[in-house]
Structure formats: structure tokens, C-alpha cells
Amino acid sequence: MSYLIKENTKLFKALSDPNRLRILKMLQSKSLCVCEITDVLNLATSTVSKHLSILRDTGFIIEEKDGKWVNYMINPRPSDNRISSILATLDFWINDDNVIILDKQKIQNINRIEVCGR
């Protein structure tokens, strides 16, 4: 199998989980910490961390330390043009999904101090 096919498969696998797509759409609106993402997805922190790890390892997102928080955000300058292309077309594929719309509403009202302090 060629290197390109392996790399493309890796990218598509990263996008093959609905929760990872939800995370990408949330991060297109604003940067979030793992607690905030966990709160919206209503999943275990370890599960969300695994999803974030997959998205980070494939280059879709980056993380940035901010005091006691680690903020996750869409990678503004991915080294792989395919990632930029995929991110640019996510709205076309899933922007009007009800779950995505509800997630966007939730993250606008999320209180980081309250969510992370539980």
C-alpha cells in the first residue's frame, strides 16, 4: 500500500467518529479545554482525551497551555493542505445538523470555571 493511501486513510479514520466531528465543529467556533468539551459531549474525560489525541496527531487541532488549562483549537496552519481543505468544507457537510447547532449554543454559554471545578 502506498504512503499516500495510508496517510489518507489516517485522515479519514480521524473523521470517522461523530464525536470527533462534533469536536471539530465546536473548535471552529472557539478554543475549549477538555472539561468544556467533556461537558458538551457528556462523555468520560478519558474518552474525550483520546478523541483530542487523534485529532491532534493527524494535524486537525493544536493545543496551547494557558495557566492551568490546556486549550484546544483548530490548527490555523496545518502542514498538510488536505487538512485545510477538509476543515474548509466541514460546514458544507455538517453545519446544519441539529446536534452541531445545539453544541454551538452550549459552548457559547459554558462557564469554564464552573465546569472545570466539578
CATH number assigned to the domain comprising residue 71: 1.10.10.10
Amino acid of residue 103: D
Instruction: Retrieve residue 2's grid coordinates.
Output: 502506498
> Which tens digits make up the pLDDT trace of 69-118?
899 999 999 999 999 999 999 888 888 889 999 999 999 999 888 888 75
Which pLDDT value is given to residue 21? 96
Quote the pTM value: 0.93
Q: Does any domain span residue 115?
A: no
Whole-angstrom distance, CA of residue 116 vs CA of residue 93: 31
Q: Total domain count for the chain?
A: 1
Domain, as residue range, for 77: 3-110
